[in-house]
Structure 1
Amino acid sequence: MSGAMYHFGEYELDTGRRRLSHDGQQVHIEPEALDLLCHLVEHHDRPVPTAELVGTVGRGRAVSDAAFAAWLRAARLAIGDSGTRQQSIRTVRGRGFQFVARMKAASTSVQASPTVRVTGAVSEADHEVIRFCRSVDGTRIAYAVTGEGPPLVKTANWLTHLDLDRTTPMWAHWFDGLTRGRQLIRYDERGCGLSAWDMGSFALDDLVADLDSVADAVGLDRFPLLGVSQGGAVAVAYAALRPERVSRLVLTSAYARGQLIRAGSDDERDAAEVDLNIARVGWRSQDSSFLRYVASQFLADATPAEWDAFAAYQRQTTSAANGLRFLEEFARIDVSGIAHQVTCPTLIVHCRDDARIPVSQALELAMLIPDSRLVLLESRNHLFTADDPAWPTFLSHLDNFLAE
């Protein structure tokens, strides 16, 4: 992939690697907004018509005026511009938009990394390459393949960002542990990370189709599947609806029914609504006290500083509007009616004192899925931390199960 390195002010834009930096630090920007910025910079010698930008960034899909305006605003904000402060991206009335900042350009190239076919999948040599595919409705899905050996596909879940997960303390040990002796295929959920943030429909069928598109893009016919947290419900649905593709299923910190669906009494329904409202207020206001409450449910044994880091990471993975939609949609998800259709061997791992998803949900999954086994670990964390004693135990159970 070829491109150029553009320097303007304190910013650096690598159009080949699709990377924007400010004073040497990467600026995280919605993929469509970054594509828009790259196109404007590469065609800085002229005003670029709106229709051309929509066609380039949307790749032939129908794009609403609101979506385009959001991409433009995000691109401007990422480089210190705004609709009124147009020092870099200027609106040219009747003609479109033009990048007008003074800059220097240097050519660069990125060689495509070699790929080899291993057990039906693609392996990247030495480093990870992020790729993109399209789901059946045209939504862009970002995925990555790392490591060598038998494949393991991890369903997407909220709070991932392929470009950040290898280094963020919340996920780095997951990445290292899951790629040990195998090939890990992971992807960002629609509306999250490097996948399209303008996600359109968000039904269970869409999430199943997204996983199909990733498996097809990688070249997998049959594979083991790992579902973590709310990704577990998607993994159950996929294994039930695509039995020919899933050889083994691993679920951890998972559930079949969302919090609002499984509430069986007025008290439980009130508690579910309070929990959801606290998360809503936190996302809308970005108030640290509310966000810490949400973080404490995911990482019960973490420090307040770690909760704040967790909240900051949330803001990098998706927009506030999408964050609210994820919360509400997964609170109402229900795969309990199809879980009995899962025919592959299934390992269910759950922490006895999970502060986010009660252990009763693991018991329900074990009763619903015919060929399943349940392992309960001693921990309060919803997501295993690197220093959690339950973490190496989980990896050991995972390795043994997949090796059978």
Structure 2
Amino acid sequence: MDGAVYHFGQYELDTDRRRLSHAGQQVRVEPQAVDLLCHLVRHRDRVVPGSELIGLMGQGRTLSEAALATCLRTARQAIGDTGTRQEFIRTVRRRGYQFVGHATVAPVDPPTAPVAASSTASAPVAASSTASAEADHEVIRFCRSADGTRIAYATAGEGPPLVKTANWMTHLDLDRTTPMWAHWFDGLTRGRRLVRYDERGCGLSEWAPARFTLDDLVDDLDSVVGSVGLARFPLLGVSQGGAVAVAYAARHPERVSRLVLTAAYARGQMVRADSAAERDAAEVDLNIARAGWRSQDSSFLRYFASQFLADSTPAEWDAFAAYQRQTTSPANGLRFIEEFARIDVSAIAHRVTCPTLIVHARDDARVPVSQALELAALIPDSRLVLLESRNHFFTAAEPAWPAFLSHLDTFLSE
């Protein structure tokens, strides 16, 4: 076991002393649970199979899966997790377990050799990259959109900039640790300076704006890049944020150097319904979403979540629904749903002049792949990549996620 101290949330895990602390106070945990936790944290870059954990705990003895489940439950309880609330240890169905919390690590025995005056030998360094170390110093700031709405934004990492449009749903203060977005944060800040923000009505931005139109969302993006001081930059649009990115690139071709779209669409659900049957299906889907947000009934919200994370478990769908409740109000959730269903950038997409990468899951359960094909046909200098996935948002455990990052890195470096 390596000698290091890991920090995540308010917890500190000393792998050399096999000691877990919370807010400076030692947490009493069974040795096997500590060993399991140490192993998961050390190997947080991958999904650890259950068989590997059984081998670690058994040390040559045969242990049952029930023993693993008990040990895992003990480790989760020690760090405030449960089977449903998986902030740090995530169950990856049929594959194993992964530590998904944002962690930093400092060596127990720092080197004694002289170091440069600009660094400190004992200062924590990033768990995965220097970009993540910079992310620990992320500062959330605020600006005003054209209509006066307060927008929260943040920058993290070092290197060339990458601006990510807001999408359903974000919260600057929570996304770095929530299982749904933590890997996005870590992956996008590696070797880059990531600029991200919460859209109006969501996260740390103002929750009571007068309007939610596409023009307002584009103005929000423009206010953020203006506040950061970027003259020209690559732009990433995810889900409905893709439509915002397309509209911005079409209106400001001199500002956007490259455009990346994933899980995106040119026309919202109601706009792209071309037949009576499609309109009926779109209206049913909207009504289910409306019912869920109005009543906050778990069955409705679980169905809604399953469209975003098709290959996740019911517990993960419930966690997604709980996260949504933290990011916005039910009234705003309804406004978002109805506004996004009517988004349409199909008439201006041809005005995007920069090179564009379009990445989409072949079996996206929320936005059909036909929308990616439409975007590729509308945007002149575009290329299309289809990845094997059913998830609207790529998850940390699926092969599509590293594939997406690889395509993104290659495209931005060209």
What TM-score results when the alignment is normalised by the length of structure 1? 0.69
RMSD over aligned Cα atoms: 1.5
Q: 1:158: Cα distance to partner?
A: 2.2
Please state if 1:141 is matched with 2:137: no
Which residue, 149, 160, 167 being the options, matches 1:150?
160
For residues 400 and 234 of structure 1, the distance between their equivalents in structure 2, rounded to whole angstroms, comes to 23
Q: Extract unaligned runs of 5+ from structure 1.
A: 1-22, 24-122
Q: Which residue of 1 aligns with 2:320?
A: 310
Q: 1:388: Cα distance to partner?
A: 1.1
Please state if 1:260 is matched with 2:281: no
For residues 359 and 203 of structure 1, the distance between their equivalents in structure 2, rounded to whole angstroms, comes to 25
Which residue, 379, 386, 390 being the options, matches 1:376?
386
Q: Deviations over 1:174-225 (max 9, x none)?
A: 0000001101000000000000001111222111111111001101000000
Q: Deviations over 1:209-257 (max 9, x none)?
A: 1111100110100000000001000000000011110000000000000
Q: Which residue of 2 aligns with 1:240?
A: 250
Q: What is the identity, as a one-letter code, of the residue corresponding to 1:285? A: S
Q: Does the residue aligned with 2:271 lie in a helix, a strand or coil?
A: helix
For residues 129 and 175 of structure 1, the distance between their equivalents in structure 2, rounded to whole angstroms, comes to 14
Q: 1:125: Cα distance to partner?
A: 7.2
**How high is the sequence identity, in percent, across the aligned residues?**
85
For residues 353 and 150 of structure 1, the distance between their equivalents in structure 2, rounded to whole angstroms, comes to 33
Please state if 1:213 is matched with 2:223: yes
Which residue, 253, 256, 275 being the options, matches 2:285?
275
For residues 337 and 393 of structure 2, the distance between their equivalents in structure 1, rounded to whole angstroms, comes to 17
Q: Which residue of 2 aligns with 1:354?
A: 364
Q: Extract unaligned runs of 5+ from structure 2.
A: 1-22, 24-132
Please state if 1:320 is matched with 2:330: yes
Q: Does the residue aligned with 2:258 lie in a helix, a strand or coil?
A: strand
Q: Which residue of 1 aligns with 2:10?
A: none
For residues 222 and 199 of structure 2, the distance between their equivalents in structure 1, rounded to whole angstroms, comes to 13
User: What is the aligned residue count?
Assistant: 284
Q: Does the residue aligned with 1:145 lie in a helix, a strand or coil?
A: strand
Aligned counterparts, 1:56-135, within 5 A: 126-135=136-145
Q: Which residue of 2 aligns with 1:48?
A: none
What TM-score results when the alignment is normalised by the length of structure 2? 0.67
Question: In 2 relative to 1, CA 287–125 (structure 1 residues): closer, same or farther, beyond 3 Å?
Answer: closer
Question: In 2 relative to 1, CA 346–136 (structure 1 residues): closer, same or farther, beyond 3 Å?
Answer: same
Runs of 4+ in structure 1 deviating by more than 2 angstroms, as ranges, are 123-126
Q: 1:308: Cα distance to partner?
A: 0.1
Q: Deviations over 1:134-182 (max 9, x none)?
A: 1111100000000000000000112100000000000000000000110
Q: Which residue of 1 aligns with 2:261?
A: 251
Q: What is the identity, as a one-letter code, of the residue corresponding to 1:200? A: A
Question: In 2 relative to 1, CA 125–165 (structure 1 residues): closer, same or farther, beyond 3 Å?
Answer: closer
Q: Which residue of 2 aligns with 1:393?
A: 403
Q: Is the 8 A contact 1:252 1:350 kept in 2?
A: yes
